[in-house]
Amino acid sequence: MRRRYPEIAQTVWLALQTYLRAIPSGSLGWYVDQQGDMQSLDEHGWMHIREKILNRPLAHACLVELLQYESGVGGYNFEYAGYQLDSQVLNDEKAACAISFSLPTEYLLEHGPDTVRALALELSRDLPFSSGYASLAFVAPCGQWSSVRRELLPLLDRYRGFDLYSLGKTSRVIGTGARGAYWLTFLGQPLLSQLGGLEALRRELPFPEVSFEPLKGERLLLTLGEWPSPMDIREHISRPHFRALARLLEPYFPDETNGLTSLLDNRNMGRWLRRFCL
């Protein structure tokens, strides 16, 4: 969202409330304080988070991380990276406010893809996004990738349908671009217009697996199949619709040179983002 975070504070807070209503009560039990330490998300903690999101218009940034965090992992996580975008502290030429909500795989299996899709639509309804997506993903609370590095890299090579991201780092470079083709791919302005709009995308993506849903505010949701797929390369299944969309979006990919360098060097991060374009 290429907007100053005070302008979207209320919308972000309401999206968080939507997420909380959709997940089991108490799923988010911790937040990360300014020192990087875990604090209990009790009544006092929620008051702190509400104040931080809604009532700090002069701060340079609003960084929030809420998580389940049980035994070092957790399926429910919320992250928000909000910036002033005109701050002298941040080189904001390519920055954007960004938000993420995660669900455990069990949620998808229990409720089904239609429920997850409906939740993604409700979460995005009032957010002024340039792009967004929903996907299977490898999620590491608090960026704790180093503990799973050895196991994760082979999985990335085999399962092309899993996302890998660091919200804070991506938000510094994505601007009004996009990160690629995903099961649910949201396109807003100005990106949708730069791609030629709905009718141009219909011509470029004439695949039965792709559905188009126009959204208010000159935005669009592309759904690439009924279910998100891990895309195991050993199954040798061709997915030309992902390749076609990824190639359309490739000129707008962020230059994630500050990507997950503990896992992938800069060159490999760029190659991984373009895994459907090759």
| Enclosing H/E stretch for 250 | none
> Is residue 164 domain-resident?
yes
User: Is 61 a domain residue?
Assistant: yes
Least confident of 85-89, 106-110, 219-223, 271-275: 85-89
Q: Which domain holds residue 81?
A: 5-273
- What is the C-alpha to C-alpha distance for residues 136 and 154, in angstroms, rounded to an integer? 16
Q: Is residue 278 part of a domain?
A: no
Extract the tokens encoding 153: 């890299």
pLDDT digits (tens, 9 = 90+) for 166-191: 898 889 999 999 999 999 999 999 99
Q: Nearest 10 degrees: CA dihedral of 173, 155, 132, 94?
A: 0
Give me the mean pLDDT over the 93-122 stretch. 96
Closest CA to 163 of 266, 31, 259: 259
Task: Please check whether residue 241 lies inside any domain of the structure.
Answer: yes
- Of 48, 111, 50, 42, residue with least CA distance to 75: 111
At residue 259 the predicted structure's pLDDT band, cuts being 50, 70 and 90, is very low
The count of domains in the chain is 1
Q: Judge whether 171 lies within some domain.
A: yes
pLDDT score of 272: 85
Strand duo 162-164 + 136-138: pairing: parallel
Q: Flag whether pLDDT at 91 surpasses 80.
A: no
197 domain-assigned: yes
pLDDT digits (tens, 9 = 90+) for 11-29: 999 999 999 999 999 999 9
Interacting residues of 217 by C-beta distance below 8 A, sequence separation 6+: 128, 188, 189
pLDDT of residue 209: 96
pLDDT of residue 133: 98
Q: How confident is the model at residue 269, as a pLDDT?
A: 78
Rounded CA separation 235/59 (Å): 50
Coil vs helix vs strand at 39: strand
Q: Higher pLDDT residue, 228 or 164?
A: 228
Q: 3-state secondary structure string, 40-73? A: ECCHHHHHHHHHHHHCCCCCCEEEEEEECCECCE
- Is residue 152 in some structural domain? yes
DSSP reduced 3-state for 77:
strand
Proportion of the chain above pLDDT 90, given as a percent: 72
pLDDT at 261: 45
pLDDT of 149 reads 67
